[in-house]
Chains A and B, each alone.
Chain A
Amino acid sequence: MLKNLLEYIGVDEGRVNFSWVSAAEGGRFAELVRGVTAKVKEIGPNKGLISSESGCCGCKN
């Protein structure tokens, strides 16, 4: 639900990731985190909810 809402309000798709990993699954955890970091690097820096379109005060700077 949270992921749905965040993407609905304009957070880049793929930037929010959830998973469930047991404390005994170290290998799987590392693999998941590698996957997620690669994905997020591909999306690039987070420009925020509004600053990607406009500046601090609604200007375009």
Chain B
Amino acid sequence: MRMQKLAAQIKDAAKKLLEEKKVDLVVGFAEGSLPLRGTPLFARTPEEADKLTWNRGCENNLANYLRKREGKVAVVAKGCDVRSIVALVKENQINRDNLYIIGVPCSGMIDRKKVNQLVGGKDVLEIEDNGDTVVIKGKDFSETARVADLLHNSCQDCRYGNPVVYDELIGELLPEKGEDDFAEIKEFEAKTAAERRAYLAEEFSKCIRCYACRNACPMCYCEECFVDCSTPQWIGKSAADIQDNILFQAVRVFHSAGRCADCGACERACPMGINLRLLTRKLVKDVKELFNAEAGVNMEDKAALATFTADDPEPFLVKE
């Protein structure tokens, strides 16, 4: 019920903004063709805004559609979307004055792959949201499950479900969660180099170099990506070379160091189910540990890697 109420409130807010001509465009979510397939919607009239919705399948990071937009734009934004927006405002990719943020506190989105596993790959036709539990319905079956067990990994780790900045808040703020412990990253760090290499080689043998991770990422916006260059060709283009696949991802995540809000859009976009957050979160963790910084959590802090102080830690220098 809560979700339907939020959806109605989002619709009302968007219609009001468009009717009063406060914005030219509202970016939000519409129902997809199947449950948990929420799809981005660009509403330019109050009638179009009628299609807006809110449910457990609104997983895309909409910050990705806001860079360098003309005119006034409103966006329906979860906690992670807002963090990416804040980071992009700092990089002059979004003009905050022309953006109206309809913030929606988010308790997590459901992972289709986990649902699929639960029902053994059967077609899901409806998801009934009852708050803490959902009923997954198909042709001849109906299964009840806890929402917490079905959330995306990124949502389970998320500490910023509440939007950090907003012009209007839909619904109520959620209780704050404790600190992230980066348990899986520490576990991976503790392995030997050979074990780590073996695991990554296995993971990245799946990569088909579709670059969906890059395209889904709001922070990956270089006009020409290094993997697309042919003169010079920085990196091999074939997905058959696992080493190049790892290198591609390593450079991508390094480029997002101190900018990545750990929204998990890359991992959700991956059609091969590669554990990409194993790499992105390593940098999130290091930035936090070395510079005590997190991307996009307020408008004041400068991006960690865009600032210099004389007492920046230097553990990487050769010991003399």
- A residues near B, CB below 8 A? 1-13, 17-20, 32, 35-36, 48-54, 57-58
Question: B253 contacts which chain A residues (CB < 8 A)?
Answer: 5
Query: How far apart are the CA atoms of A6 and B281 in the complex, in Å?
Result: 14
Encoded as 1 (CB less than 8 Å from any A CB) or 0, chain B from 238 to 263 comes to: 00101100110010011001000000
CB of A53 within 8 A of CB of B201, answer yes
Interface membership of B227, Cβ < 8 A: no
**CB < 8 Å neighbour of A50 from B242, B283, B290:** B242
Query: How far apart are the CA atoms of A7 and B290 in the complex, in Å?
Result: 16
CB of A18 within 8 A of CB of B200, answer no
Closest to B305 in A: A1
Interface membership of B286, Cβ < 8 A: yes
Question: B320 contacts which chain A residues (CB < 8 A)?
Answer: 19, 32
Question: B254 contacts which chain A residues (CB < 8 A)?
Answer: 1-2, 5
Task: Give residues 256-314 of B contacting A (CB, 8 Å).
Answer: 257, 279, 282-283, 286-287, 290, 305
Smallest beta-carbon distance B249→chain A, Å: 9
CB of B283 within 8 A of CB of A9, answer no
Interface class of chain A by DSSP: loop
Q: Which of B189, B194, B201, B290 has the largest number of chain A CB atoms within 10 A?
A: B201
Smallest beta-carbon distance B194→chain A, Å: 7
Query: How far apart are the CA atoms of A8 and B194 in the complex, in Å?
Result: 11
CB of A48 within 8 A of CB of B243, answer yes
List the 9 closest A-B pairs by CB distance, nearest first: A10-B197, A50-B201, A3-B316, A19-B318, A10-B196, A49-B243, A18-B316, A17-B318, A10-B193
CB of B197 within 8 A of CB of A20, answer no
Q: Which of A3, A6, A36, A54 has the largest number of chain B CB atoms within 10 A?
A: A54
Interface residue total, chain B, C-beta cutoff 8 A? 30
Encoded as 1 (CB less than 8 Å from any A CB) or 0, chain B from 182 to 221 comes to: 0000001100011011101100010000000000000000
Smallest beta-carbon distance A9→chain B, Å: 6
Q: From known contacts A9-B279, A10-B193, A35-B318, infer whether A1 and B286 are also in contact, taking CB-CB under 8 Å.
A: yes
Query: How far apart are the CA atoms of A3 and B282 in the complex, in Å?
Result: 12
CB of B193 within 8 A of CB of A4, answer no
Smallest beta-carbon distance A3→chain B, Å: 4
CB of B189 within 8 A of CB of A8, answer yes
Closest to B304 in A: A1
Smallest beta-carbon distance A46→chain B, Å: 11
Interface membership of B225, Cβ < 8 A: no
CB of B246 within 8 A of CB of A1, answer no
Question: B283 contacts which chain A residues (CB < 8 A)?
Answer: 1, 5
Interface membership of B317, Cβ < 8 A: yes
Query: How far apart are the CA atoms of A53 and B201 in the complex, in Å?
Result: 9
Query: How far apart are the CA atoms of A53 and B282 in the complex, in Å?
Result: 23
CB of B287 within 8 A of CB of A50, answer no
CB of A53 within 8 A of CB of B197, answer yes
CB of A49 within 8 A of CB of B279, answer no
Given A1-B305, A8-B188, A49-B243; 7 other pairs, CB 8 A cutoff: A8-B189, A8-B196, A19-B320, A20-B317, A52-B194, A53-B194, A58-B205
Q: From known contacts A1-B290, A4-B286, A5-B254, infer whether A13 and B317 are also in contact, taking CB-CB under 8 Å.
A: no
CB of A9 within 8 A of CB of B200, answer yes
**CB < 8 Å neighbour of B201 from A2, A8, A20, A49:** A49
Q: Can you list 14 A-B pairs, Cβ within 8 angstroms, ordered by A?
A: A1-B290, A5-B279, A5-B282, A10-B194, A10-B200, A11-B193, A12-B193, A13-B193, A49-B247, A50-B197, A50-B200, A52-B194, A57-B240, A58-B242
